[in-house]
Amino acid sequence: MSEVLETPVTTAKLALEGVTSGYGHVEIIKDLSLEVRPGEIFALMGKNGMGKTTLLKTIVGLLPARRGRILLDGADVTKRGPKALVDRGVAYAPQEQPLFQDLSIRDNLRLALPSDKALAAGLERVYGHFPFLADRLAQKAGTLSGGEQKMLIIARAMMTEPDLLLIDEISEGLQPTVIERIAAALKDERANGTTILIVEQHLAFVLGIADRWAVMKLGQIDDAGAIGPDTEARVLEHLRL
Ligand SMILES: Nc1ncnc2c1ncn2[C@@H]1O[C@H](COP(=O)(O)OP(=O)(O)OP(=O)(O)O)[C@@H](O)[C@H]1O
């Protein structure tokens, strides 16, 4: 691991200490340690099948950590489960089956929230990023285009004004203008104090918004650092190997 990630920080927003998790008899995440600092965008990259999605699922409690600890603002949340993470301000935009296709945009957004009042406030926030939502609230999510569905997924995760936002491969299949819109939305969220951990394959997009980065290989952090002029070349080298 690089010097940058070993440098002590006051209190990490999210800290993983020797986390191991997996499926059945197979360990996918192996003794992994990582710190995400308050208010940063942290880009997590790696080749297919290296464990990035598995790591996000472990962080949000959908998959139990078999060993190690997960700390949120210094508090141990390892065995607390998904609900406790949501209550502590964590939002997750997953890669798989993320929307209720037969429900309207409004109902998909409402499900993330405790009340209609919260929905009204949340909508005001996300309309700024994704204005098309304002005229389409009654439309079924399944009838939106692929790009619109991705924007809805991000909007839903932002509705709660999360302290920590976890995003899994949002850019896949999106046209450049939509990616730019999402990049702008994520930068705005960071400016408002949200910490973001984003798994991405689209390097220009994610390295353009991130503060620090890591590459995963076979369930471990293979390399990491602060974003700098050599980052893209360094990451590409890992993805080629
Ligand atoms: N539910 C599951 N049961 C068994 N094995 C799984 C399950 N989900 C994922 N795996 C395996 O875990 C490994 C890591 O998968 P994961 O989806 O975490 O990788 P990833 O880095 O996110 O890959 P990608 O970039 O392709 O999305 C893969 O070998 C995958 O086959």
Q: What pTM was estimated for this model as a whole?
A: 0.92
Q: Which amino acid is at 170?
A: I
Residues 11-63 pLDDT 10s: 999 999 999 999 999 999 999 999 999 999 999 999 999 999 999 999 999 99
Residue nearest to atom 17 of ligand 1 (CA): 53
Full residue range of the structural domain in which residue 163 is found: 39-50+80-240
Query: Is 8 inside a domain boundary?
Result: no
CATH number at residue 154: 3.40.50.300
Query: Is 129 inside a domain boundary?
Result: yes
Domain count across the chain: 1
Instruction: Report how far ligand 1's centroid is from the alpha carbon of 17 (Å).
Output: 21
Q: Give the SS3 label for residue 74.
A: coil
Please report which confidence band the pLDDT of residue 152 belongs to, taking 50, 70 and 90 as the band edges.
very high
Residues 166-222 pLDDT 10s: 999 999 889 999 999 999 999 999 999 999 999 999 999 999 999 999 999 999 999
Instruction: Report how far ligand 1's centroid is from the alpha carbon of 174 (Å).
Output: 22
Q: What is the rounded distance in angstroms from the CA atom of residue 231 to the CA atom of residue 98? A: 31
- The 3-state secondary structure of 118-181 reads HHHHHHHHHHHHCHHHHHCCCCEHHHCCHHHHHHHHHHHHHCCCCCEEEEECCCCCCCHHHHHH
Query: Is 152 inside a domain boundary?
Result: yes
Q: Which of 88, 150, 152, 162 is nearest to 118 (CA)?
A: 162
Instruction: Report how far ligand 1's centroid is from the alpha carbon of 50 (Å).
Output: 7
Instruction: Report how far ligand 1's centroid is from the alpha carbon of 165 (Å).
Output: 21
Q: Which of 96, 62, 52 is nearest to 198 (CA)?
A: 52
Q: Which two tokens stand for residue 208?
A: 């353009």
Query: Is 170 inside a domain boundary?
Result: yes
Query: Is 90 inside a domain boundary?
Result: yes
Instruction: Report how far ligand 1's centroid is from the alpha carbon of 117 (Å).
Output: 38
Candidate of 19, 45, 52 to mutate for ligand 1, largest count of ligand atoms within 8 Å of Cβ: 52
Q: What is the ipTM of this complex?
A: 0.96
Residues 90-133 pLDDT 10s: 999 988 767 899 999 999 999 888 889 999 999 998 999 999 99
Q: Which two tokens stand for residue 144?
A: 């939106």
The pocket around ligand 1, CB under 6 angstroms, is made up of: 23, 28, 46, 48-54
Q: What is the rounded distance in angstroms from the CA atom of residue 155 to the CA atom of residue 130? A: 8
Query: Is 13 inside a domain boundary?
Result: no
Residue nearest to atom 9 of ligand 1 (CA): 54
Query: Is 151 inside a domain boundary?
Result: yes
Query: Is 75 inside a domain boundary?
Result: no
